[in-house]
Chains A and B, each alone.
Chain A
């Protein structure tokens, strides 16, 4: 079974631009979550989508948005980029089972975004 894939792997943008990152979850996984990883702040939760609906949201400004398609693929968008948005953006998928306790998330390799 293929793992979580993220595209592109590397991205360089300038301040003020916008960017769209893509994530394809493991086949059958309907939950997709996004995280931002920086040396200073560690791993921070951005949002989670389940069945095309945003189910959970972290404490990030409205410049960060996302969506999920009917095939569970997800995109996240960052508008008006700032230098501080430079980070590794990780996507994770999980299999949500009714009544299940196992919440294991499977991570992709990440997209390294550099804002100049």
Chain B
């Protein structure tokens, strides 16, 4: 079946540090890949997405590239802020399945 493995947390960084959260996947079809962010007490918000190999999703300074050869979709940001503190989820969805498979989530804390 489909699965997503993401870097275990928690991750603690100082403001302006570089962020990488690793994500690899296994899928039976040709998935779309997503990063979601969840702030305390809230639902999930889509951070960025990529629908085909070599696509780069980007938003709010975050980036991730769909690497089919390594089945990866690592999240990066060059300079994190305190406001980036949240839980980040990597997810995949196979064509029109109406179902996403999520990683376990990585808690990021950014200290001033």
B68 interface contact, C-beta 8 A: no
Complex interface: chain A residues within 8 A of B52 (CB): 101
Q: Are B93 and A42 in contact (CB under 8 A)?
A: no
Q: Is the interface of B mostly helix, strand, loop or mixed?
A: loop
Among the interface residues B44, B51, B95, B101, which one has the most CB atoms of the partner chain A within 10 A? Answer: B44
Interface 1/0s, chain B 48-80, versus A by CB < 8 A?
A: 010110000000000000000000000000000
Q: Which of B34, B96, B101, B102 contacts A96 (CB 8 A)?
A: B96
* CB contact under 8 A between A106 and B46, given known A42-B102, A45-B101, A101-B32: yes
Q: How many chain-B residues does the 8 Å CB contact rule pick out?
A: 25
Among the interface residues B34, B99, B100, which one has the most CB atoms of the partner chain A within 10 A? Answer: B99
B104 interface contact, C-beta 8 A: yes
Which residue of A has the minimal Cβ distance to B32? A103
Q: Are A45 and B100 in contact (CB under 8 A)?
A: yes
Complex interface: chain A residues within 8 A of B44 (CB): 90, 92, 107
* CB contact under 8 A between A42 and B98, given known A107-B44, A108-B43: no
Task: Output the least CB separation between B46 and chain A (Å).
Answer: 6
Which residue of A has the minimal Cβ distance to B98? A48
Considering the chains assembled together, what is the distance between the CA atoms of A104 and B68 in angstroms? 19
Considering the chains assembled together, what is the distance between the CA atoms of A105 and B93 in angstroms? 9
Q: How many chain-A residues does the 8 Å CB contact rule pick out?
A: 26
Task: Output the least CB separation between A60 and chain B (Å).
Answer: 13
- Enumerate chain B interface residues (CB-CB to A < 8 A): 32, 34, 36, 42-46, 49, 51-52, 89, 93-105
30 contacts between A and B (CB under 8 A): A4-B43, A31-B98, A33-B99, A42-B103, A42-B104, A42-B105, A43-B105, A50-B98, A55-B98, A56-B97, A56-B99, A90-B43, A90-B44, A92-B100, A94-B98, A101-B32, A101-B52, A101-B95, A102-B32, A103-B96, A103-B98, A103-B100, A104-B32, A104-B49, A105-B46, A105-B93, A105-B100, A107-B43, A107-B45, A108-B43
- Enumerate chain A interface residues (CB-CB to B < 8 A): 4, 31, 33, 42-43, 45, 48, 50, 55-56, 58, 90, 92, 94, 96, 100-110
